[in-house]
Structure 1
């Protein structure tokens, strides 16, 4: 995804930027509200992470300005103020989610992932393709080179996440959060076990591998490059 960060606290901005870039996202970063509005309106972003308190134009004002301009850009507001009224103000202004500082990067990614699954961020699709691999989201069927592949529900769910992120790295933590709803379970090997089963079904019977392990990072589905 292409993500805009609007944050005037340099350590926080760099922390978010570094984490997103490590996962393969394209990131632009600005440090004031005026530039935030300009960037958000002039460029095509998939999501924006905007601080609540900013010089010149605060985060809520940015959200109101963007919504008033007709922008449907998904927005996560960051704030050091955790009061209910403050959160309500941000959400009613048009923000899609709210995250109180300090926060773990994994929580931010969980919220980004949740927004990425909403129809507002990506068009509703019923079928996905990567090379000769097809995933039918309505019939819940999988085929490759015209051959039916029998996937169990978890295998299908993992493959769906990977194919929705075609060409991008999906980390083990992201899969645990999205498929198993585990926020933190470092000792489990369920992801590795399932990936092994999935690879045996969608890759090994065919000449060209599509499921790739990115060492020390995660997994990616993409056609040969």
Structure 2
């Protein structure tokens, strides 16, 4: 089996797809192309259980058949957590938030610069293999390397999972990046602008509801009472503060 990453490109605009495939291959990636939403989902689900699933997915939002939002949602529901970079001409805030809510890891508005595309791909692949440093304010779980204990939940950044008392939750890269940043800065008030720029490298004028939605999800994963959080605290009009356990 080749050691070169396999990138799945789901794009129905033929000229754009061929350009992406050519440039990805020139950079040393192997590629697989699908142009129809239904066919793409079928291939991706099959590839997930095959000997060689894709390393990352470049997924157009507007497709014949299923759209990109429903594809990524179906992948996450099936237990497939391959990193997904949405390619979209729909740059409205609502569309970006919908993509994140569906489980996408990043987005790139069309038209885009190839250098930016490759930087995003590199970021996705790098984050899949990070090794988390343990924030000093949290308890290290000695029997599980690279894990943290918070509120009775075991956070494992190697496997991108949270083991709760009654279930195991798989984090997307976006969720894990945000959670890791908060844990690395305990008790500090972190403005939304800082999270946008340092976690996701997006412009400060992007609507911050995307972050708010992610915080709501992380609270569901980690808080005993998500409506009255004790760890992921909102600082009204500013941002968020992470309060570790005493």
TM-score range, shorter chain: 0.5 to 0.7
State the number of aligned residues. Answer: 124
Instruction: Identify which of 33, 36, 41 aligns with 1:32.
Output: 36
Structure showing greater radius of gyration is 1
Instruction: Identify which of 65, 71, 78 aligns with 1:69.
Output: 78
Unmatched tracts of structure 2, length 5 or more: 48-52, 134-246
Alignment of 1:17 onto 2:21: yes
C-alpha separation between the residues in 1 aligned to 2:88 and 2:132?
34
Instruction: Identify which of 112, 122, 125 aligns with 1:113.
Output: 122
C-alpha separation between the residues in 1 aligned to 2:76 and 2:91?
23
Unmatched tracts of structure 1, length 5 or more: 127-225
| SS state at 1:117 partner | helix
Runs of 4+ in 1 over 3 A off after TM superposition: 122-126
Alignment of 1:181-192 (within 5 A): none
TM-score (norm 2): 0.49
Change (3 A) 1:84 1:125: closer
Alignment of 1:4 onto 2:11: no
Q: What is the RMSD computed on CA atoms of the aligned residues?
A: 1.6
**1:123: how far off?**
6.8
Instruction: Identify which of 92, 95, 99 aligns with 1:90.
Output: 99
